[in-house]
Structure 1
């Protein structure tokens, strides 16, 4: 397989040099991934684009992060990237889950004023699974705005409880309650990958992104799903800067996916799901 132009990375965040201070739980994950130096290294917007060019990534879906203690990457910080390079960065908003009314208003602002194309909430940061009542007003607003809800599934690489990342029953219940809501579960779902694949087959509105895992380590059942009945359901993601864009794409090439499947995985599915 030869990589085609137009790769879209469905999950990334800025490298602003503040991760160790503001997200201390991720330090071990970065160290195990060989990216510990990026915890304290700030990459400029221009340098980030250079890394994308080197890897062949057309668009990086850049996510804001908020946790109970405060903002890590604000929606306005993400907007600085999308304004500087509107053809290269796509904003993914987040909100303060603990303030329901303000969260709904912030989501609407992020989409209508800042141009964000999705909402992402990382459940382990809040210790609340996605079927918790605090999420539900946001799901209604996502449907109204016509944007996907993105979340993390599977165990947590950071040393935090993993229960919130179980696809069944939590994400299953959300999809049943909101069949109109487009959902993208990031990080594959390991060790519940079969559950995640089952949900993506069961629910037309559920998709999977492969962020936080090098392609060499994609589970066999996920690769089978991608190659067959799930070819419209799986999106490429890196979790940049945890994983190198260039290394991820080199390893995708080594998977030798059929060209039509690779095109859907690397960009086609993301364009459709996020309306790019």
Structure 2
């Protein structure tokens, strides 16, 4: 395994990677939905957490790791948040654990979120409103946001279209409207201190995502799920100017490899001082990883 990496050695922080299979081989999605995603993105491996750690360590990168808990909508049992957090703890130099709690779980989910942060070092929570079948501004989810805000953790919301369910009759029951970033704008109003990441270039709502991130101080954008060569021009323009402190590298590994993403990112027309912010500095600040002496 070699020596653990120090913060200064890290070349980048990938804020968006998935655990798609548990240690005992259980998948995060039903076979039908996983098959649709694989067809949409092209077939990809389903690395275990140990493999993910080795992959990122070799590249001198850190990665935020999570699954999606959508048991209520899909009836498919999730991968254990505890298992992910414990695996990340064994590779704490490169892996940062996020969790996923289905907001339909109500009070039980709130208690679980509190326990995951307190006992398992979880730093944030992934929401996929389309797969979890809820509107982000539904008051049903508010007790969960309340505890995430109180604990200083991060709420990461999938936004825009999804490859999950694509091409399956009825889209596998998945409604795209729930992943409109304007629904998260309400969350940013009602929870003004909640740290929020809008995941992905938010097609077909890219302008909405840029507006929300520009207007709400706690809202950030990750650039995962797309090759940078397909980024809409306004996203590149904002990343290079108004939002240069709020936009972050994410790959969507294993769907898109960091190698491919970074190669295409290098070709974008960005100011030299903006690149390190997007690749590492913005995420380090949001995640509280910046060495104390470097904080402004």
Q: 2:18 aligns with which of 1, 13, 18?
A: 13
1:51 and 2:55 are equivalent in the alignment: yes
1:259 and 2:272 are equivalent in the alignment: yes
Q: 2:196 aligns with which of 183, 186, 193?
A: 183
1:132 and 2:146 are equivalent in the alignment: no
SS of residue paired to 1:135: helix
Q: Shift of the alpha carbon at 1:237? A: 0.7
SS of residue paired to 1:59: strand
Change (3 A) 1:228 1:127: same
1:114 and 2:117 are equivalent in the alignment: no
In structure 1, distance between residues paired with 2:141 and 2:31: 22
SS of residue paired to 2:212: helix
Q: Shift of the alpha carbon at 1:50? A: 3.2
Show the counterpart of 2:38. 30
SS of residue paired to 2:54: helix
1:60 and 2:67 are equivalent in the alignment: no
Kindly report which structure 2 residues correspond to 1:139-218, keeping only aligned pairs within 5 A, or say none: 139-159=145-165, 160-168=174-182, 170-218=183-231
Question: What 5-or-longer segments of structure 2 have no aligned partner?
Answer: 1-8, 166-173, 290-296
SS of residue paired to 2:266: helix
Which is bigger in relative contact order (C-alpha 8 A, separation at least 6)?
Answer: 1
**Could you state the TM-score of these two structures normalised by the residue count of structure 2?**
0.84
1:244 and 2:257 are equivalent in the alignment: yes
RMSD: 1.9
Change (3 A) 1:258 1:235: same
Q: Shift of the alpha carbon at 1:110? A: 0.9
Show the counterpart of 2:100. 94
Q: Shift of the alpha carbon at 1:44? A: 3.6
Q: Shift of the alpha carbon at 1:23? A: 5.8
Q: Deviations over 1:146-168 (max 9, x none)?
A: 11111111122223220001122
Q: Shift of the alpha carbon at 1:127? A: 1.4
Q: Number of aligned residue pairs: give it.
A: 267
Runs of 4+ in 1 over 6 A off after TM superposition: none
In structure 2, distance between residues paired with 1:102 and 1:23: 27
